[in-house]
Amino acid sequence: MRFFLGISLGVLVCLAMLEGLLRFLPVNSGMRMEATSIEKPFARCLPNQDYVESHGWAMGTARTGTTNSLGFNNSPDSSEKGGVLVIGDSYIESFMLDFPDTVQGRLEEKFPKKVQAIAASGNGLADTLDILKYFAPQIKPAVVVLFVEPFDLSQLLSKPSVGHSGFFVTNETDVSVTHDPYTESPNKKRLLKSALIRYLYYNLKFPDWASKALKSVRGNTPQVNKTDDLSTKKALVLNYYFSELRLLSAANGFRVVFLLDGDRKAIYSKNRERSWNTNDRQLFSKLALQQELDVVDMQPVFKRHWDEQRERMDFLPMDGHWNPVAHKLAADEIVKLLNNK
């Protein structure tokens, strides 16, 4: 009995020492989120929230920041009417970058006081519709830049995660948008006070690792190949999405510009690896152009830059988010498009 008590006490002492040590290091702070609802169906952090961002066991890309008064990161609180509104997910939110290094920061240099960003991790295409319905009448942008990455297409038909919206198909032809409201757990605020818990959860991503390990133990469930059916459904949802965008554009007087992420894995590996599912990028571009919506495709831009400079556009293999190089290239392409049309 004494032996087990001694071990337990030793473990507790080690955990306490780890907790104390980690409190002096830039452990990822995590973000507390506002509740979402049918009235405000979009993810956002608590306003004016200080945070520490770091990634991985070594706490790489460590930096500190504060969300704006609306609960969004790397964005002014407001902008002049007739400017540029950038909407996206964690790529635009960019907790690992300072504002001047982001797409919206670069655009702000070209269009002072006329750029605002609304972005949250996990946002998909359905979320952009809810965001525009709420914010476009208030902000009154002349241009809306919508960031699109592989997740947006691969998860297009999936059930939305908590705090986000998704597309719902009924009768094989009817499409609608549904929202899954988020309410903060009473325990989250308490748990976030522990540096050790934050390190395990946010830096080491222990839950993700445990989930993958469990799946490997259980074995993969055989998937039935229904590529044609999937493509048909995706096309149905995308056409609905583009139609809704055109209605919002006409009602609020803004121009839509899609910022389409390139397949950087394919570029680096000479097509041995891919981050985009087959045909997703082509399907999206084709349908968007059919609806006369502008698309800034970063694939040729990234490939040209890699071929000429051999300079990465992200933090891979640690993190696939864009680095300042990619953000600058994207902003330059957007400015080029806006100046030419």
Give yes or no for a contact between 322 and 91, defined as CB atoms under 8 angstroms apart: yes
Question: Are residues 179 and 38 in contact, defined by beta-carbon separation less than 8 angstroms?
Answer: yes
The whole model's pTM is what? 0.93
DSSP state of 45: B
Q: Sorting pLDDT into bands at 50, 70 and 90, what band is 212? A: confident
End-to-end, the C-alpha distance of the chain in Å comes to 79
Query: Domains of the chain, with CATH numbers?
Result: 80-184+228-340 (3.40.50.1110)
Question: What pLDDT, in 10s, does the model give residues 223-261?
Answer: 444 555 678 999 999 999 999 999 999 999 999 999 999
Q: How far apart (Å, rounded) are the C-alpha atoms in residues 157 and 123?
A: 14
Q: What is the mean pLDDT of the segment spanning 314-329?
A: 94
β strands within 79-215, DSSP E = 84-88, 115-119, 143-148, 165-170, 174-179
CB 177, CB 168: distance < 8 Å:
yes
Q: What is the pLDDT of residue 89?
A: 98
Give the pLDDT confidence of 55-69 residue by residue, as tens digits.
999 998 899 999 999
99 touches 215 (CB < 8 A): no
What pLDDT is recorded for position 225? Answer: 45
Transcribe 181-192 into DSSP letters.
-----TTHHHHT
pLDDT at 220: 53
Instruction: Say which residues have a Cβ less than 8 Å from residue 206's Cβ, sequence separation at least 6.
Output: 200
pLDDT tens digits, 119-162: 999 999 999 999 999 999 999 999 999 999 999 999 999 999 99
pLDDT on residue 222 = 44
User: How many CB atoms lie under 10 A from the CB of residue 137?
Assistant: 11
Residue 2 phi/psi, 5-degree rounding, is -60, -35
Residue 61's H or E segment, with its range, is strand 60-66
ω into 160 cis (within 30 of 0) = no
